[in-house]
Structure 1
């Protein structure tokens, strides 16, 4: 009898888990878009993945590289803190939020490409391969352009590698200064509620067809942090809101974030 009860419990649990995975798959299906999302507990290693094959496929990281690039720039002392100024040289960009002096925090928030290219110049291209190797951050093709490599396809990374890197960030296991980790956490904070804190970064690789949209980060809840990395094909800018929407809805489907309340 105990064996039978255990078997029934495991069957019910499997059916429930399967239903949840179907719920995540339906998020991509409803949007009519191909992609992957990987979610993992920093404490227990429990993980959920949609489209396992794609989660191992490497894509251009685009602006998600700003997470590691921030740590590098701070540790190299090429910028001092979240409020340090990066002066604008007057070049006009299509994204109007870029057309003025930036702080490190504002540059991260508005995903300012020219700002992080300036920081990369200050760091120097020769230093990046060692930093990438140390963090096990994707694959870098040589030779590479020191201010373009995270945009032009020279550097690629998978969703699985993004999550492994983020786990090192959360656990602070890479040899960066405490102040560097503290500053990154300050500027990476995207949302805070009484129940959770969301730390995240978007990315959009546009130099391929289709483009690739990213949303990566982690959610602090109770005594755990849940890491996540989503990438999906993008047909045009209209698909960009799907990055955050599908990632957060996937976290809700797994019960990590509270379900959206329905108001009447």
Structure 2
């Protein structure tokens, strides 16, 4: 039936159904068919049947096509009524009813499609019975309503666009008075990226490329800071016992092919260690923690073993810094010993100059390193500085290169030598 409907969009009445119609009835039917012809309904029928063939499996498409056909018939009736005198409306409706009666007892296989179901016919008859030719006042009201609706939709367009962009970009709400926009392009070279620095004591932000700084991308291994914290909070690992045995599988990095603790797994960025923590936590628990701390777009729709690796979970450099501030001050309201265990795991160096905490991340797609991260914070006698560097390129955008850029900037700013 689908193919036949596609090949024969125009249905012709068998002669025995119309042979006993009155001349006025024939006039009404002719007017009806002429309106279909005038509005190119045959072409529209081709397109609708084609859509039905393509999406035969989708019940919503079939429902939409049925409603479109119903609306088409009502519109056709309205066009006919505009051409008739008011005294003819009832006769036109009776013609349709008589036609339905004849079709209902006809064995002609295609005629039924002309009449439609009872619900459709009831709608058409009600439309005919209640039809009034539009006056100038009604036309003016209709045009006014159309213009107001158009203005309303156009006015909402920026809001809709902003809402759609919420997922891909962080809508940062910060006072411009404490933000300093700096140009560190010379440090980034061939990479696109941003550098974000927050000086806690002076409450000042320094940002290179605000557009990139609010753009959300995959966190890759920087997410392990918080994944470790979730595991500690749930007791999957503890500050005293974070040991997880190697499963014997051969991994691409030699450091991964051994038993791990939180310290070693964080230092070597061992994926399987944190995947094991996730497996023991379970999807629901991880998602609850991600929402609790407000991690990026909070999207875990990707594969549970890789949702943070160039997949669904994304975060911006500005958000990375905001989360590090919360971590350092334990605004998550987690157990202090668990916060300290994570801090110890990401501590890179400690001396009289201060203590340096950091974590890298590298995103790989089709064998190429396309996303590099280095985030962390520095505690000195003068202040605590939180930083986040992200770089992107078709290749060679690694956490190591992001680290080199960060260290050069921090050195030239006399924050860390």
Q: Normalising by structure 1, report the TM-score.
A: 0.84
| Counterpart residue number, 1:256 | 415
Structure 2 gaps, min length 5: 1-179
Q: Find 1:246's aligned residue among 393, 401, 405.
A: 405
The separation in 2 between residues aligned to 1:43 and 1:67, in whole angstroms, is: 24
1:147 aligns with 2:297: no
Task: Report the CA distance between 1:89 and its aligned residue.
Answer: 0.7
| Counterpart residue number, 1:5 | none
The separation in 1 between residues aligned to 2:269 and 2:196, in whole angstroms, is: 23
| Counterpart residue number, 2:372 | 213
| Counterpart residue number, 2:355 | 197
Task: Report the CA distance between 1:27 and its aligned residue.
Answer: 0.8
1:174 aligns with 2:332: yes
- Contact 2:195–2:213 under 8 Å retained in 1: yes
Distance 1:149-1:253 versus aligned 2 partners, 3 A rule: same
Could you list the per-position Cα deviations for residues 133-170 of structure 1 after superposition, in whole angstroms to 9, with x for gaps in the alignment?
22121013353432221114210000011001001011
| Counterpart residue number, 1:224 | 383
Query: Which secondary structure does the structure 2 equivalent of 1:44 belong to?
Result: coil
The equivalences for 1:1-264 within 5 A come to 21-22=182-183, 24-29=184-189, 32-81=190-239, 84-141=242-299, 143-207=301-365, 211-237=370-396, 239-258=398-417
Task: Report the CA distance between 1:255 and its aligned residue.
Answer: 2.1
Query: Which secondary structure does the structure 1 equivalent of 2:289 belong to?
Result: helix
Q: How many residues of Structure 1 are paired with residues of Structure 2 in the alignment?
A: 237
Distance 1:142-1:221 versus aligned 2 partners, 3 A rule: closer
Report which structure shows greater RCO (CA 8 Å, sep ≥6).
1
In terms of fraction of residues, the more helix-rich structure is 2
The separation in 2 between residues aligned to 1:152 and 1:122, in whole angstroms, is: 22
The separation in 1 between residues aligned to 2:213 and 2:322, in whole angstroms, is: 12
Could you list the per-position Cα deviations for residues 3-46 of structure 1 after superposition, in whole angstroms to 9, with x for gaps in the alignment?
xxxxxxxxxxxxxx88xx34x321113xx221111000233321
Structure 1 gaps, min length 5: 1-16, 259-264
Moved over 4 A (4+): 237-240
The separation in 2 between residues aligned to 1:103 and 1:142, in whole angstroms, is: 25
- Contact 2:287–2:300 under 8 Å retained in 1: no
Task: Report the CA distance between 1:180 and its aligned residue.
Answer: 0.3
Task: Report the CA distance between 1:129 and its aligned residue.
Answer: 2.2
- Contact 1:82–1:104 under 8 Å retained in 2: no
Segment of structure 1 superposing worse, 34-43 or 47-56 = 34-43
Segment of structure 1 superposing worse, 112-121 or 38-47 = 38-47
- Contact 2:238–2:338 under 8 Å retained in 1: no
The separation in 2 between residues aligned to 1:221 and 1:247, in whole angstroms, is: 17
Highest CA radius of gyration, 1 or 2?
A: 2
Segment of structure 1 superposing worse, 231-240 or 196-205 = 231-240
Query: Which secondary structure does the structure 2 equivalent of 1:212 belong to?
Result: strand
Aligned-residue RMSD, C-alpha: 2.0
| Counterpart residue number, 1:14 | none
Distance 1:78-1:204 versus aligned 2 partners, 3 A rule: same
| Counterpart residue number, 1:4 | none
Task: Report the CA distance between 1:240 and its aligned residue.
Answer: 4.4
Query: Which secondary structure does the structure 1 equivalent of 2:223 belong to?
Result: helix
